[in-house]
Amino acid sequence: MSVTASSALLVQGAGPQYVNATGLFTLSWVLIALPLLSAAVLLLTGRRANAWGHLLGCASVLCSFVLGLAMLFAMLGRSGPDRLIDQHLFSWIPAGSFQVEAGLLLDPLSMTFVLLITGVGGMIHIYSIGYMAHDPERRRFFGELNLFVAAMLLLVLGDSFLTLYVGWEGVGLASYLLIGFWSYKPTAATAAKKAFLVNRVGDVGLSLAIMLMFATFGTTSFAGVFSGADRMMAATATGIGLLLLLGACGKSAQFPLQSWLLDAMEGPTPVSALIHAATMVTAGVYLIARSNPIFDVSPNARLGVTIVGAVTLLFGATIGCAYDDIKKVLASSTMSQVGYMILAVGIGPGVYALGIVQLVCHGFFKATMFLGAGSVMHATKDNVNMRHYGGLRRLMPITFLTFTAGYLAIIGFPFFSGFYSKDKIIEAAFDKGGTSGLVLGSAALLGAGVTAYYMTRLMAMTFFGRPRWEEGVTPNESPRSMTMPMIVLGIGAVFAGALLTFVGDGLAGFLTPSLGPAEKGSPPVISASGQTLLILAVATVGAVIAYLQFGRRSVPDTARQDVPVVVTAARQALYGDAVNEAVFMRPGQYTTRALVFFDNFGVDGAVRGLAALVGGSSGRLRRVQTGFVRSYALLMFGGAALVVIGLTLAYAI
Amino acid sequence: MSTAQSLPALAADFPAPQIAYSALSPMVAVFGAALIGVLVEAFAPRRARAGLQLAVALLGLLGGLLAVGLLAGTREVTAVGAVAVDGPALFVQGTVLALGVAAMLLLAERSLESGGGAIVAQAATVPGSADERALVGTDHLQTEVFPLAMLAIGGMLLFPASNDLLLMFVALEVLSLPLYLMCGLARRRRLLSQEAAVKYFLLGAFSSAFFLYGLALLYGYAGTVSLPGIAAATQVTASNDGLLYTGLGLLTVGLLFKISAVPFHSWTPDVYQGAPTPVTALMATGTKVAAFGALLRVYYVAFGAIRWDWRPLLWVIAIATMAVGALLAITQRDVKRMLAYSSVAHAGFILTGVVAATRAGLAGSLFYLLAYGFTTLAAFGILTLVRDADGEATDLSSWAGLGRRSPMVAGAFAILLLALAGIPLTSGFTGKFAVFSAAADAGAAGLVVVAVVCSAIAAFFYVRVIVLMFFNEPAADGPTVAIPGAFTSAALALGVAVTVVLGVFPSPLLKLADQAALFIR
């Protein structure tokens, strides 16, 4: 949808030129329609669909994937500029000069997301068949997963910020529903509410950004906004950029709106894998990458983005070291990895694509690990405490192998995915030059070391050492429907980075029409190979420390309490909730109390007082109505006198 | 001899007036039917009278309606400048005639009460006497009420078409005198009814005196009683302004009395309550519509040039009327009295349209009058249906839970009340919107704010009745709801249909009112 006002300034000029969709590309709406239709069927037909609902759910997403793949090949057959394909769907609100159009934009950037969402999403759907096999509400689960996929596809395919916003709210809704899927658990219900509320803060930012765009450009379509972006005032660009950043922070769990992601782990593990690792939390990255023409013209906004990214990547990595809950470790890791992506898209022109490469690779390796964690939980009766694992590698070989693939990918082991994606971002941060480049690069480098530390810790506690299982737990490998997707995604975790870097022009080259060409910044401070070695060295140090701490020694059943302040703080998620409570919740609580007080005594008092006043004056006026003609006549006479006097006075004055 | 000699000369000075009877045909039809009704009363056998009277009356009214339709678009002054047939006059006449048809149907309903209906069997019997008891329960009926009503309606047609204060006074009396009588013709609670008649008569005569005194002063000022003549005088004469403003003020009192504006409203609740309900319906709608038509003509035609002098006065009166009407309605325990105060409040709302003193204000007022008329008439019609052993049960408490027992009647009443409250999708909202926006455009924003506040207060007591009907437990000894006969059903259906249609598709009538809103000067 794009909103255009005829009176508004419609600027022509720079910015992307979109071509109209033809042939296969006119079917882009089908990508969204398939999972949406499936969601509607699953959620509306009720129990009758229990027998086949999960199959329909998987089939719709896989069909979208196949269609997306066909479109990818059709797109590869076109030359660069022709790869920006816009399809007008319908006029949503044709109200005079206020036009709201609905349309979809299929370009290399959205293509990448479509394949990631439907590909990884399809695998996770298949995995869920096994994982949710014993849940009586499995059909509803698939319906809500499909709803999420449809909303996410709308988010990445919309050709205006308004369509994006519809999808944005749609994924928020699906996320809320799925975190709270087991809403009979109070923790799950609370977590869902928390995610929803924190996201609202970010959504306000996004909606304000859209309003500001409309006020500035008279339109919210990508084409209209981007073609005018280079002419707007710097302050406006910074304002829009920072508001978009606020939106991104909410959806992508970036500092300071990160707190909901840890609680979101209350949802079923496939949800954590799909929504809270591979796709939805990367929507913020998509938003900033998509808005690149705005960030191109505002270095200040970009600086804000990089700061948020760098802070979050360290923040997430730090708290990842402290948790014993395997899903929360992975969630902290997600926060941290998305921080890398945000950092990359914040560095700006030429580096946007690196963020997307990291995003795709992360989608594979983090989904692999989440599904692995789900498999482990499946085997240990839904225990999430890593202190109760240990020695699982022999009993769950497939889980162990795929998890190891994800592990090696995330720590940036040479030739695994992370080696190509994350290291490039660290290099780009250093290459940014100046003090900021040094600071950001150092932060990213340190983050790599900490990542290696906490991931090694996780591996050691889960798969190595002696078994520390609780009584009655006899771990087994998970069924085929769960291991197959893990294997597929594990293969992706191993090879995605290399494939996306070396096949053809690589993903970065493919994204050029959307994000601009990759640029080389100032000459590197340290040579590329030197940097690679440095990163590897730091990561090795992190891994070795973790191995010494957790691989060599036995792991106690409970965490030690006599630990440094830093560890205590990390265990409390660096007091993120405490800060929220102190800064937002308490004042909010006091404000509501004050408002309730004011409402009771002020508003209600005024209302009651007014009612009493009205009733009282009514009662007093009634006494005039005596029923005696003589008093009525007197009243009339008095009235007549007043009328005459009034008229004469009005004239005299 | 001298007298005889001067006669031809006088005849030469005093030519026979040219009267365009075609332009007067609506009035001719109604007055003709009234006179035929008198003859029917004199010659037809008693048993056939009621039916005959109704037939004659309806024929006269429908004929008048047809004539109004044929005259649409006419703009002419006839009868030596005394009668103006123009858009507003025809619009008001059409409204009064249509309301008259509905009121006549309510009057003719006889299935609700054993034998009679709402009208007394024999008005001459002393209340409580043996004669009266002998007649209660028989099918006797004071059928004179039909020609009386027709005469009143005839007066209501002439009132807004009078282009001359003297004729206007005659029309005022023609419409008032039959109403005084009709007020005293209730079949039940006759003493209350007769008290109402006397009160109405005394106060009505008092107000007529004001009107007449004002007329005399204005003649003294302008040397003419024709409205255009007075208008011309206000534009040229600079002296004798005392006469002008005193005369205008006294004239205003007479007119405001008829529309029951505060402080000339005190008769309204007592008379509306005491009169037979169909008569109340006619008074609350027809009289008010006609009186507003006359008021608009006087203010817009004769005193349009000095509107800056009378607008502040009408501001104050409109505010007082809305506020007092709405406030007093809140504490009423009787539905009929509540509707009476509601009609006072509505007079205030319509006055905001008059205050605008623009074409939009005139059009809005005309629309509001029609919308208000049908809604109020149907509301009074419903009062006739809710009965207990003593006749109509108008006490608010006995209406509790009515929605459970008679959802149709209670639902219709709820629609009418919502319209009176001015809720969207009813005619009341459209009408309020029309007059308020006209007033706001004419610079009376403050008045509109007060009007909206008063609407909010008024909504309270309307909605309270709805809550009472639908959300309260029915009283054990509550009233029964009579099955409406064909006449009442037709009148109610007409009222509710107009209320809803004008809320949903108001534009054709708004357009018509806008086209009509131009006085001939």
Q: Do B242 and A650 lie within an 8 Å CB cutoff? A: no
Nearest Cα neighbor of A116 from A148, A85, A153 is A153
Q: Does position B113 have pLDDT exceeding 80, yes or no?
A: no
pLDDT one-digit tens code per residue, A109-119? 899 999 999 99
> In this complex, is the C-beta atom of A650 within 8 Å of any C-beta atom belonging to chain B?
yes
For chain A, domain boundaries: 316-571, 579-652
- Say if CB A497 and CB A372 are below 8 A apart: no
Q: Does position A315 have pLDDT exceeding 50, yes or no?
A: yes
| Residues linked to residue A385 through DSSP beta bridges, in sequence order | A325
Of the pLDDT bands very low, low, confident and very high (cuts 50, 70, 90), residue A8 is very low
The pair phi, psi for residue A88, each rounded to 5°, is -80, 130
Q: Do A636 and B269 lie within an 8 Å CB cutoff? A: no
The nearest alpha carbon in chain A to B244 belongs to: A648
Tell me how many residue pairs between chain A and chain B have CB atoms under 8 A apart: 89
| Residues linked to residue A325 through DSSP beta bridges, in sequence order | A385
Residue A54 structure tokens? 């999960």
- Say if CB B142 and CB B122 are below 8 A apart: yes
> In this complex, is the C-beta atom of A649 within 8 Å of any C-beta atom belonging to chain B?
no
**How big, in percent rounded to 5, are the helix, strand and coil portions of chain B?**
75, 5, 20
> In this complex, is the C-beta atom of B203 within 8 Å of any C-beta atom belonging to chain A?
yes
> Which single residue is written with the structure tokens 């002063």?
B217
Q: Do B249 and A621 lie within an 8 Å CB cutoff? A: no
Give the span between the Cα atoms of B115 and A532, in whole angstroms.
Answer: 110
Residue A9's pLDDT is what?
Answer: 38
pLDDT one-digit tens code per residue, B120-179? 888 888 888 888 888 877 778 889 999 999 999 999 999 999 999 999 999 999 999 999
* Count of H-run helices and E-run strands, chain A: 27, 4
> How many angstroms separate the Cα of A125 from the Cα of each of A66, A181, A327?
15, 16, 19
Q: Do A632 and B246 lie within an 8 Å CB cutoff? A: no
Give the span between the Cα atoms of B485 and B488, in whole angstroms.
Answer: 6
Of the pLDDT bands very low, low, confident and very high (cuts 50, 70, 90), residue A13 is very low
Query: Which residues of chain B make contact with A616, given a CB cutoff of 8 A?
Result: none
Percent of chain B, pLDDT > 90? 70
pLDDT one-digit tens code per residue, A130-175? 888 888 888 889 999 999 999 999 999 988 898 899 999 999 999 9
The type of residue at A431 is: D
> How many angstroms separate the Cα of B313 from the Cα of each of A165, A216, A648, B369, B432?
56, 50, 10, 21, 21
- Say if CB B517 and CB B366 are below 8 A apart: yes
Those residues with Cβ within 8 angstroms of residue B201's Cβ, 6 or more apart along the chain or in another chain: B180
CA angle A294, A299, A305 (to 5 degrees): 80
Q: How many CA atoms lie within 13 A of B5 on its CB side?
A: 2
Mean pLDDT computed over A318-336: 88
Distance from CA of A606 to the nearest CA of B (A): 15
> In this complex, is the C-beta atom of A613 within 8 Å of any C-beta atom belonging to chain B?
no
Reading phi first (left if > 0) and then psi (alpha if -120 to 50, else beta), residue B451 is in: alpha
Of B242, B263, B328, the CB nearest to A635: B263
Inter-axis angle of helices A397-411 and A352-379, nearest 10: 150
Residue B129 structure tokens? 């006497």
Of the pLDDT bands very low, low, confident and very high (cuts 50, 70, 90), residue B114 is low
Of B249, B257, B266, the CB nearest to A644: B249
> In this complex, is the C-beta atom of B341 within 8 Å of any C-beta atom belonging to chain A?
no
Give the span between the Cα atoms of A513 and A516, in whole angstroms.
Answer: 6
> In this complex, is the C-beta atom of B474 within 8 Å of any C-beta atom belonging to chain A?
no
> In this complex, is the C-beta atom of B339 within 8 Å of any C-beta atom belonging to chain A?
no
- Say if CB B190 and CB B120 are below 8 A apart: yes
Residue B268 structure tokens? 């309204």
Inter-axis angle of helices B46-71 and B145-158, nearest 10: 20
Mean pLDDT of chain A: 84
Peptide bond connecting A256 to the previous residue in cis, omega within 30 degrees of 0: yes
> How many angstroms separate the Cα of A372 from the Cα of each of A396, A401, A462, B421?
10, 9, 11, 66
Terminal C-alpha separation, chain B: 43
User: What is the three-class DSSP state of A369?
Assistant: helix
Residue B491 burial (C-beta neighbours within 10 Å; 0-12, 13-18, 19+)? buried
pLDDT one-digit tens code per residue, A569-591? 767 766 767 777 777 777 777 88
Of the pLDDT bands very low, low, confident and very high (cuts 50, 70, 90), residue A7 is very low
- Say if CB A423 and CB A535 are below 8 A apart: yes
Peptide bond connecting B263 to the previous residue in cis, omega within 30 degrees of 0: yes
pLDDT one-digit tens code per residue, B427-473? 999 999 999 999 999 989 999 999 999 999 999 899 999 998 998 88
The nearest alpha carbon in chain A to B262 belongs to: A639
Q: Does position A97 have pLDDT exceeding 70, yes or no?
A: no
ipTM score for this prediction? 0.90
Query: Which residues of chain A make contact with B202, given a CB cutoff of 8 A?
Result: 629, 633
Mean pLDDT computed over B53-65: 96
Q: How many CA atoms lie within 13 A of A366 on its CB side?
A: 33
> In this complex, is the C-beta atom of A632 within 8 Å of any C-beta atom belonging to chain B?
yes
Of B210, B312, B330, the CB nearest to A614: B330
Lowest mean pLDDT among A500-514, A521-535, B398-412: A521-535
Q: How many CA atoms lie within 13 A of A233 on its CB side?
A: 6
DSSP state of A88: E
Distance from CA of B396 to the nearest CA of A (A): 17
Give the span between the Cα atoms of B71 and B85, in whole angstroms.
Answer: 9
Give the span between the Cα atoms of B387 and B478, in whole angstroms.
Answer: 9
pLDDT one-digit tens code per residue, A476-491? 888 888 888 899 989 9
Of the pLDDT bands very low, low, confident and very high (cuts 50, 70, 90), residue A100 is low
Of A618, A629, A633, the CB nearest to B331: A618
Residue B409 structure tokens? 């009647």
Residue B397 structure tokens? 């408490």
User: What is the three-class DSSP state of A554?
Assistant: coil
User: What is the three-class DSSP state of B443?
Assistant: coil
The nearest alpha carbon in chain B to A622 belongs to: B328
User: What is the three-class DSSP state of A103?
Assistant: strand
The type of residue at B431 is: G
pLDDT one-digit tens code per residue, A360-411? 999 889 989 988 998 888 888 888 888 888 888 888 888 999 999 999 999 8
Those residues with Cβ within 8 angstroms of residue B327's Cβ, 6 or more apart along the chain or in another chain: A614, A617, A618, A621, B457
> In this complex, is the C-beta atom of A651 within 8 Å of any C-beta atom belonging to chain B?
yes
Residue A27 burial (C-beta neighbours within 10 Å; 0-12, 13-18, 19+)? middle
Q: Which of residues 241-270 of B touch A (CB under 8 A)?
A: 241-242, 245-246, 248-250, 252-253, 256-257, 262-264, 266-267, 269-270
Distance from CA of A94 to the nearest CA of B (A): 23
Q: Do B313 and A646 lie within an 8 Å CB cutoff? A: yes
- Say if CB A422 and CB A508 are below 8 A apart: no
For chain B, domain boundaries: 7-516
Q: Does position A10 have pLDDT exceeding 60, yes or no?
A: no
- Say if CB A151 and CB A143 are below 8 A apart: no
Q: Does position A562 have pLDDT exceeding 60, yes or no?
A: yes
> Which single residue is written with the structure tokens 């045909």?
B25
The type of residue at A247 is: G
Q: Do A614 and B248 lie within an 8 Å CB cutoff? A: no
Inter-axis angle of helices B427-441 and B335-356, nearest 10: 30
Mean pLDDT computed over A59-76: 91
Residue B335's pLDDT is what?
Answer: 93
Alpha carbon A183 to its chain centroid, in Å, reads: 22
Mean pLDDT computed over B185-198: 91
Of A617, A632, A650, the CB nearest to B266: A632
Pairing of strands A85-95, B83-85: unpaired
Those residues with Cβ within 8 angstroms of residue A105's Cβ, 6 or more apart along the chain or in another chain: A18, A84, A85, A86, A87, A157, A158, A159, A222
Q: Which of residues 284-323 of B touch A (CB under 8 A)?
A: 309-310, 312-313, 316-317
Of B202, B263, B310, the CB nearest to A629: B202
Distance from CA of B231 to the nearest CA of A (A): 17
pLDDT one-digit tens code per residue, A237-272? 899 999 999 999 989 888 888 888 888 888 888 888
- Say if CB B233 and CB B221 are below 8 A apart: yes
Mean pLDDT of chain B: 90
